[in-house]
């Protein structure tokens, strides 16, 4: 059974930093791309970033480019999201999500973790 | 403002058929597969439809997806009370080089 468990969320002041982690199990982690998707309070889903299997191609949404960095440690089956220069608008539940296929543009976001809440406030 | 346009709400009575629309453009729906996600309150989204019209194992055949040009639809037949949820359409956008989502449609079973 695929399991994705996020951690690292919390309250941070504007301009601060936070690192999210996602522990994966139940599949061959290195073979799959992984992504982060966030959902602001009472809002819809917003894709944040993706990284290919074994650390391949990374992409970011315009709203986080230059501030967030996605990475992975395949030896630990763990995905990360380093978030710097945080803003109030980054407040959201952050979901760790598996990418179903090799090519992003023909892949689903097929398994989702339960999410971790990040609150940016003074 | 989302790249994909969905109605904010939809409703139906038990047993009815309901459709939810999703409108995009040539850089996303017009040239890519469409995906649909179901989200219950205080829960993570779940993949409902992939590659426009395919159902993951375990998803009832009451749920179906389709696409025509730059628009897509999710149809739910034999509506049940436990279908009440938010439904999101999504696809890859070549111009943005990322996945895009609609704002979600809240389905109410009357």
Nearest to A47 among B50, B98, B102 (CB): B98
In chain B, the percentage of residues whose pLDDT exceeds 70 is: 99
Distance CA B7, CA A39 (A): 18
Per residue in B95-106, is it b (16+ CB within 10 Å) or e — as a string? eeebbbbbbbbb
Write out residues 4-33 of A within 8 Å (CB-CB) of B: none
State yes or no: pLDDT of B59 exceeds 90: yes
Record: contact B99-A109, CB cut-off 8 A:
yes
* Helices (H) then strands (E): counts for chain A: 0, 11
State yes or no: pLDDT of B99 exceeds 80: yes
Phi-psi map region of A96: left, alpha, beta (phi>0 left; psi -120 to 50 alpha):
beta
Which burial class, exposed, middle or buried, applies to B62 when counting CB atoms under 10 A from its CB (0-12, 13-18, 19+)?
middle
Record: contact A105-B102, CB cut-off 8 A:
no
Record: contact B98-A50, CB cut-off 8 A:
yes
How does pLDDT run across A70-108, given as a tens digit for each residue? 999 999 999 999 999 999 999 999 999 999 988 998 899
Record: contact B99-A100, CB cut-off 8 A:
no
């Amino acid at each position: 059974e695929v399991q994705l468990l996020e951690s690292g969320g919390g309250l941070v002041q504007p301009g601060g930093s936070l690192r999210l982690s996602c522990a994966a199990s139940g599949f061959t982690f290195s073979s799959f791309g992984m992504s982060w998707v966030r959902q602001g309070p009472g809002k819809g889903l917003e894709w944040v970033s993706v990284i290919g299997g074994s650390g391949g191609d990374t992409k970011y949404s315009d709203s986080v480019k230059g501030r967030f960095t996605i990475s992975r440690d395949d030896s630990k089956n763990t995905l990360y999201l380093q978030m710097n220069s945080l803003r109030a608008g980054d407040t959201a539940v952050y979901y760790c999500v598996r990418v179903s296929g090799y090519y992003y543009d023909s892949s689903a976001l097929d398994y989702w973790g339960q999410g971790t809440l990040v609150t940016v406030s003074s | 403002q989302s790249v994909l346009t969905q109605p904010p709400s939809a409703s139906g009575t038990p047993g009815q058929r309901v459709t939810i629309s999703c409108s995009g453009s040539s850089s996303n729906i017009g040239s890519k597969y469409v995906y649909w996600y179901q989200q219950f309150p205080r829960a993570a989204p779940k993949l409902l439809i992939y590659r426009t019209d395919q159902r993951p194992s375990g998803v009832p055949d009451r749920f179906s997806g389709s696409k025509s040009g730059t628009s897509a639809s999710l149809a739910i037949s034999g509506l049940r009370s436990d279908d009440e949820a938010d439904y999101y359409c999504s696809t890859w956008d070549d111009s943005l080089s990322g996945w895009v989502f609609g704002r979600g449609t809240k389905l109410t079973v009357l």
